[in-house]
Amino acid sequence: MYRTHTCGELRIEDSGNEVTLSGWVQRIRDLGAMTFIDLRDRYGITQLVVDENTDKQVAEKLKELGREYVIQATGTVRERSSKNKNMPTGEIEIALKGLSVLSPSVVPPFTIQDDTDGGDDLRMKYRYLDLRRNMVRKNLELRAKMAHAVRTYLNTKDFIETETPVLIKSTPEGARDFVVPSRMNPGEFYALPQSPQIFKQLLMVAGFDRYYQIVKCFRDEDLRADRQPEFTQIDCEMSFVEQKDVLEMFEGLTRHMFKEVLNIEVDEFPWMPWSEAMEKYGSDKPDTRFDMKLNDLSELVKGKGFSVFDSAEYIGAICAKGCSEYSRKQIDELTNWVKRPQIGAKGLVYVKYNSDGSFKSSVDKFYSPEDLKQWAEAVDAVPGDLILVMSGDKNHMLDALGELRLEMGNQLGLRDKKVFKPLWVVDFPLLEWDEESKRFFAMHHPFTAPKPEDIPLLDTDPGKVRANAYDLVINGVEIGGGSVRIFNSELQSKMFDILGFTKEQAEAQFGFLMNAFRFGAPPHAGIAFGFDRLVSLFAGLGSIRDVIAFPKNNAGRDVMNDAPAPISEEQLEELNLILNVKEK
RNA sequence: GGUGGCGUAGUUCAGUUGGUUAGAAUAUCGGCCUGUCACGCCGAGGGUCGCGAGUUCGAGUCUCGUCGUCACCGCCA
């Protein structure tokens, strides 16, 4: 028996008991004739004490100990003569009678403690040591708790958890696929799923009615703090439902998780049309923790002789509450910020609505105080506020103002991590025009159903067609998305047609799905949540890396085991592969 | 594919207009210490300043390239 208790559970009531603990040496405090050892495991830290005079044998053993040694310690629980109120086990200690080293440790490259001295690179390289730290382990415990809450909720709602294949067929739409060569089928490849999309729809055809899966998905695209090449989705599909039914079900799931995991009651989720999100927040994933909406000033500001505005397609503004005292330097910094290539604005016009009711702007030459008063009314500004205006190409400016809005939200401390504001963004466009290839792409995916009232537009103005597609957005993070699916093979054929597939291509790529639909497909709809993002949101973190046990770096590498890596000539031969790596 | 930040002791960092032998903290090792809990005190070892080239009498410092890493844009739902 290695232990009778964990390092986190002994209390003053256990005094006098003989116990055995196993764990890692956190720290040794050698006071000379008396030595204290902090013994750590997942559950906590317990202090061991050795008196040189009374425990000579054990004291001798202490000499070989070092940080992160795994030891087994036996002794008697006793009340401390000087207690530590800061730790749960702080009232007791173990007077050692026996001590054995189960496994020694070399000196670790960084210290295993909450405020570690290790940088990110090093912690990733020794991730198994990083995972010993409370902060990191807590994130993964949270993740496990959340996965449990998902299963509890969906199981009570009669969802069937079903696994779908990981080796599937590559499809042309969407993200780049990871591919896997097939040894048994020379020259042919599997793909790893970007999502189990087609399989879950086939499960609906199969009559499963309600399906879910917490499942790994793979996309071979460039990475970000919130994007990993392999990530986890809560993937779901339901039959005989409309959009409203799906949103209600998964609002229920989300609220259940907030309640179970964080003990937070969130407000009902508002529904916001995609067009409103774009116009008012400059984003399809608005952060509604704060207001500061975008305002279209185009009509108001034109025709006053300011050629920059007169020639612009769109002039928009946001109102930063209480910022009229911003200094020249602060305004300049904001101007430079929006001029960065990532934002790409030409400049920034400001109007200070001073506390005394007067105006000071960078365009005083062209606009009278009366004009500026009108602007202020249009953006709901009151004395003490700062109005920030940008002009240019409409879509670009909505985007830029949206970014500026978030930046001001950050500067003004309006994006509190402890506050959660979920909403549904609905009525996405069905199709997106691509200038390069001169064709439409499905904004969500090719199986998304158009809104019934917009179906006539498919023939006349496909770009205007809205989809029965929806995203769950929380605090400016896209947590999940889904759609009502097309379940009629004629409409599906039409979609493939609009997307530029020939009949043969559609048949080759999705024939089996179209074929399945000929055998009685129920109306169905589904959704998938980005589980990693949801966990990092709950944890109040910016990066999903911190909620994944073994994540990959920016370049998709696992710096711990150095994957990806070349394979042997024999392996290549067996897979019928010849490499043709281009020199840079 | 592109833009930017960072790279100095095991680790986290400092290092002035380019100027003598590159510092601090922490970790490690040794010594002292009976109530510590970030123990304390004394001492020691520890450096390819990421790598390569260039400018210069002289480069940790300036320039170019390269590698690594992070963030963002493109990409991705």
ipTM: 0.91
Lookup: tokens for A363: 């365009």
Nearest to A418 by CA among A474, A473, A471: A474
Straight-line distance from CA A566 to C1' B28, in Å? 37
DSSP run (H or E) holding A495:
helix A489-498
Q: Which fold has domain A290-411?
A: Gyrase A; domain 2 (3.30.1360)
CB-facing half-sphere around the CA of A359: CA atoms within 13 A = 21
Distance CA A469, CA A445 (A): 10
Q: Would the Cβ of A584 be found within 7 angstroms of any atom in strand B? A: yes
Q: Does the nearest atom of strand B lie within 7 Å of A30's Cβ?
A: yes
Selected from 3.30.930.10, 3.20.190.10, 2.60.120.10, 3.50.50.60, the CATH number assigned to the domain covering A137-272+421-570 reads: 3.30.930.10
A160-161 and A179-181: which strand pairing? Answer: unpaired
Distances (CA, A) of A245 to A49, A239, A347, A426, A472: 61, 10, 46, 14, 14
Domain borders along chain A are: 12-103, 137-272+421-570, 290-411
| Terminal C-alpha separation, chain A | 59
Nearest CA to the C1' of B28 belongs to which residue? A107
Closest CA to A338 of A329, A347, A330: A347
**Residues recorded for chain A:** 584
Whether A82 CB is under 7 Å from strand B? yes
pTM of the entire structure? 0.94
Nucleotide nearest A110 (Cα, C1'): B11
Domain A12-103: homologous superfamily in CATH? Nucleic acid-binding proteins (2.40.50.140)
Point out which residues pair with A478 in neighbouring strands. Answer: A473
A558 three-class SS? strand
Closest residue to B12 (CA, C1′) = A117
Helix (H) or strand (E) holding A512: helix A503-517
Do A12-103 and A137-272+421-570 come out as alike in CATH topology? no
**Exposure pattern of A269-305 as b/e (b: 16+ CB <10 Å)?**
beebebeebbbbbbbbbbbbbbebbbbbbbebbeeee
Query: Two tokens at A539?
Result: 């944890």
* Digitized pLDDT (tens) for each residue of chain A, 584 residues in all: 999 999 999 999 999 999 999 999 999 999 999 999 999 999 999 999 999 888 888 998 999 999 999 999 999 999 999 999 999 999 999 999 999 999 999 999 999 998 877 888 899 999 999 999 999 999 999 999 999 999 999 999 999 999 999 999 998 778 999 999 999 999 999 999 999 999 999 999 999 999 999 999 999 999 999 999 999 999 999 999 999 999 999 999 999 999 999 999 999 999 999 999 999 999 999 999 999 999 999 999 998 999 999 999 999 999 999 999 999 888 988 998 898 888 888 899 999 999 999 999 999 999 999 999 999 999 999 999 999 999 999 999 999 999 999 999 998 999 999 999 999 999 999 998 887 778 888 999 899 999 999 999 999 999 999 999 999 999 999 999 999 999 988 899 899 999 888 888 888 888 888 899 999 999 999 999 999 999 999 999 989 999 999 999 999 999 999 999 999 999 999 999 999 887 65
CA of A344 to C1' of B18 (A): 37
